[in-house]
Amino acid sequence: MSGIFPAVPKWAWIIVFLLINTAINYIGISFTAVVNRLFLAAEVIFIIIFVIMAITAIAKGIDGATFTTTPLFNKEYFSAPLVATALSIAVLSFLGFDGIATLAEESKSGHKSAGVAMIGGLVVVAIFFISQTWLAGMLVPNTTSFPEDQAGNAFFDIVGRVSSHAWQVAFLAMNALAVGIANAVAAQSATSRLLFSMSRDGQLPRFLSHINAKNRVPERAILLVAGITLVLGLFFVGQIGLISSLVNFGALTSFLLLHLSVMIFFGVRRRSSNILLHWVVPIIGFCIIGFVLWNAEPAAKIGGIAWLIIGIGVLIYYTRRGIGILPEHRADSIEASSKE
């Protein structure tokens, strides 16, 4: 929003968006779902508008736009390090799909619907992402990179070149609202319910498991997430690159451990015969994520490793107190239930 209203300080936008997001989540999960659907509809409309703009510009050759497959694959610039860099950006762009799992308990179709929603969502978003990127690349066929000070708004500049300044501002505003409200609302909702679940199961202080009797939401967890977000947002204001790297490193580390857990639980403990799903796929994923982590920024590595060490310390503390692993999560309990 600073690009549209430069006179308004960035910290003010952080507070405004945080208040809106907290209010939406506090009202209830049904209202949160409605808000997300409205934003989804708006985003799809803007994607359709861009596709129409791009196809029209390519057909008319506006500002040098032309049909080409170079944005999809260019042998001259293709290399493993470049793929790793792009992969890191892509991981951050697609980050958050796993948050759907935290809403499994509120699903009306059972727990399995969360997995279907995650995979389905990834496929749809990937199609949108590839299509948009390819079309945007064809609109500037002779451009291989953008100056650092223009890279963040390059897409919106392209929109302005093939349409008008008004459309450029409209797309910029839609992006700001989607990131500041739609994405943040989903993130706050998922995080608060994760804290609630861990508190209910004895992994975190019990006060976080409190449910508002009227709205049926974990209000204390929502407010805690809002408070932490406010502190971090104000501390890292203007440092989007650094905080993005920290978030990226933390998420990738979680996924790395998740792949390892799949191999240990299914491959070793349960001796699964499904080699493809429980060995091959996790190993490939583990190697890819490990490669991206290895090429992460030093600051992200330091912050991420420090946070991981704290987490390991907390895990050891809870485990020694006998509450680190819940009975229903133990392998023998799962095996016993599967035989019934």
Predicted local confidence at residue 70, as pLDDT:
86
**pLDDT above 60 for 340:** no
Predicted local confidence at residue 323, as pLDDT:
61
Predicted local confidence at residue 43, as pLDDT:
93
User: Among the listed ranges 93-97, 154-158, 295-299, which one has the minimum average pLDDT value?
Assistant: 93-97
More confident residue, 145 or 185: 185
Predicted local confidence at residue 92, as pLDDT:
67
Q: How confident is the model over 199-213, as a mean pLDDT?
A: 85
Predicted local confidence at residue 223, as pLDDT:
95
The model's pLDDT over 247-280, given as tens digits with 9 standing for 90+, comes to 778 778 888 888 999 999 999 998 888 899 999 9
User: Among the listed ranges 130-134, 180-184, 206-210, 326-330, which one has the minimum average pLDDT value?
Assistant: 326-330
Predicted local confidence at residue 222, as pLDDT:
94
Write down the mean pLDDT value for the chain: 83
**pLDDT above 60 for 338:** no
Angle at 228 between CA 205 and CA 186, to 5 degrees: 95
Predicted local confidence at residue 312, as pLDDT:
85
Q: What percent of the chain clears pLDDT 90, i.e. is strictly above it?
A: 27
Predicted local confidence at residue 44, as pLDDT:
93
More confident residue, 88 or 117: 117
User: DSSP secondary-structure letter at 295?
Assistant: T
d(CA 205, CA 228) in angstroms, rounded, equals 16
The model's pLDDT over 283-334, given as tens digits with 9 standing for 90+, comes to 998 988 888 788 777 877 887 788 888 888 887 887 777 665 444 444 443 4
**pLDDT above 70 for 118:** yes
The model's pLDDT over 54-88, given as tens digits with 9 standing for 90+, comes to 999 999 998 888 898 888 888 887 887 777 777 76
d(CA 233, CA 244) in angstroms, rounded, equals 12
Predicted local confidence at residue 307, as pLDDT:
80
CA-based nearest residue to 29, from 186, 183, 184, 182: 186
User: Among the listed ranges 102-106, 148-152, 307-311, 331-335, which one has the minimum average pLDDT value?
Assistant: 331-335
131-137's contacts with Cβ under 8 Å and 24+ in sequence apart are 131/51, 132/47, 132/50, 132/51, 133/71, 134/71, 134/72, 135/50, 135/51, 135/54, 135/55, 135/58, 136/54, 136/71, 137/68, 137/70, 137/71, 137/72
* Contact in structure between 156 and 7 (CB atoms under 8 Å): no
The model's pLDDT over 18-49, given as tens digits with 9 standing for 90+, comes to 999 999 999 998 899 899 999 999 999 999 99
CA-based nearest residue to 18, from 160, 229, 204, 173: 229
* Contact in structure between 24 and 185 (CB atoms under 8 Å): yes
Total-model pTM: 0.75
User: DSSP secondary-structure letter at 322?
Assistant: T
d(CA 239, CA 245) in angstroms, rounded, equals 10
Which residues have CB under 8 Å from 254's CB, separation 6+?
none
End-to-end CA distance of the chain: 56
d(CA 61, CA 30) in angstroms, rounded, equals 46
**H helix runs in the chain, sequence order:** 10-27, 29-60, 80-94, 112-139, 148-151, 154-162, 165-177, 184-200, 219-235, 240-262, 275, 281-294, 298-320, 331-339
The model's pLDDT over 122-143, given as tens digits with 9 standing for 90+, comes to 888 889 888 998 999 999 877 7
Enter the tokens of residue 270: 């349960």
**pLDDT above 90 for 180:** no
Enter the tokens of residue 141: 């066929």
- Quickly state the pLDDT bin for 53 (edges 50, 70, 90): very high
* Contact in structure between 179 and 172 (CB atoms under 8 Å): no
CA-based nearest residue to 47, from 128, 140, 166: 128
